[in-house]
């Protein structure tokens, strides 16, 4: 299986810059998109393959949002963690016969860190949610987790220490996720990942145009 995970930073703009060409050339079985910034009915994709499209829109216009394009029909869908909804459209779970696929756009702490406590609470809920799925069947989690885990993941790490996405608290939450048994895929610009393992996540900061 070929899986693509991509923070498109506004899907309508990304389409104008070659998204459909890239999708056709790479031909993933499943494409997970974050930060789509869409509302229902705002885009119609001229897809080269019979993908089924699943959308989770934020209540706030032009904000957040996730999507999954899949060649295979899932057994079930979920659009939240504790409930089947998420007001900022940050999560979609697809259940297949042998695994769960979760795509996520983790909220950032904001430049002034005013949302840090909310972000850390999200991290705990997300980890608990993934583990609840993993108790049933293997999990693949992918998306933009809005964190640079290690210094090597970030340019000018020393000067960015403590900034949003690189606070000790956020990095520790990623460590906790890894300690729970999840294995990180190597992250490369516009990378595609072949998914063959058990507890798995793809990408901390997904590529953008």
Contacts of 92 (CB under 8 A, 6+ apart): 32, 54, 56, 66, 67, 68, 77, 78, 79, 102, 103
**142 pLDDT exceeds 60?**
yes
36: burial class by Cβ within 10 Å (0-12, 13-18, 19+)?
buried
Q: Tell me if 208 is assigned to some domain.
A: no
pLDDT for the residue 204:
44
Q: What is the pLDDT of residues 59-79, one digit of tens each?
A: 999 999 999 999 999 999 999
- Pick 159 or 39 by higher pLDDT: 39
Q: Tell me if 61 is assigned to some domain.
A: yes
Q: Tell me if 48 is assigned to some domain.
A: yes
What residues make up the domain containing 144?
Answer: 2-202
Q: Average pLDDT in the 19-46 region?
A: 94
Q: Tell me if 209 is assigned to some domain.
A: no
Position 126 confidence tier, pLDDT thresholds 50, 70, 90: very high
pLDDT for the residue 186:
55
Distance CA 133, CA 11 (A): 29
Percent of the chain with pLDDT over 90: 67
| Residue 79 bears catalytic tag | no
Q: Tell me if 184 is assigned to some domain.
A: yes
pLDDT for the residue 203:
47
Q: Tell me if 207 is assigned to some domain.
A: no
* pTM of the predicted structure, to 2 decimals: 0.87
Q: Tell me if 180 is assigned to some domain.
A: yes
Sign of CA dihedral 183, 137, 2, 18: negative
Q: What is the CATH number of the domain that holds 98?
A: 3.60.10.10
pLDDT for the residue 190:
39
| Residue 105 bears catalytic tag | yes
Marked catalytic residue, from 51, 100, 129, 144: 144
Number of domains in the chain: 1
Marked catalytic residue, from 105, 129, 134, 200: 105
pLDDT for the residue 207:
37
């Amino acid at each position: 299986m070929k899986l693509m995970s991509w923070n498109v930073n506004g899907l309508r703009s990304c389409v104008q810059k070659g998204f459909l060409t890239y999708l056709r050339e790479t031909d993933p079985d499943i494409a997970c998109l974050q930060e789509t910034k869409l509302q229902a009915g705002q885009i119609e994709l001229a897809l080269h393959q019979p993908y089924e499209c699943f959308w989770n829109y934020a209540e706030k216009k032009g904000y957040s949002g996730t999507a999954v394009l899949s060649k295979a029909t899932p057994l079930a869908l979920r659009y939240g963690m504790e409930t089947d909804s998420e007001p900022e459209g940050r999560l979609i779970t697809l259940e297949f016969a042998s695994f769960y696929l979760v795509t996520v756009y983790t909220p950032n702490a904001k430049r002034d860190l005013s949302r840090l406590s909310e972000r850390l609470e999200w991290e705990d809920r997300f980890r608990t949610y993934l583990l609840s799925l993993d108790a049933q069947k293997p999990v693949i989690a992918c998306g933009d987790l809005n964190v640079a885990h290690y210094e090597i993941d970030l340019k000018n790490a020393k000067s960015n220490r403590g900034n949003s996405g690189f606070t000790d608290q956020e990095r520790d939450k990623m460590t906790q996720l890894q300690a729970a048994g999840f294995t990180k895929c190597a992250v490369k610009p516009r990378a595609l990942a072949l998914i063959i393992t058990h507890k798995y996540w793809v990408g901390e900061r997904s590529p953008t145009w």
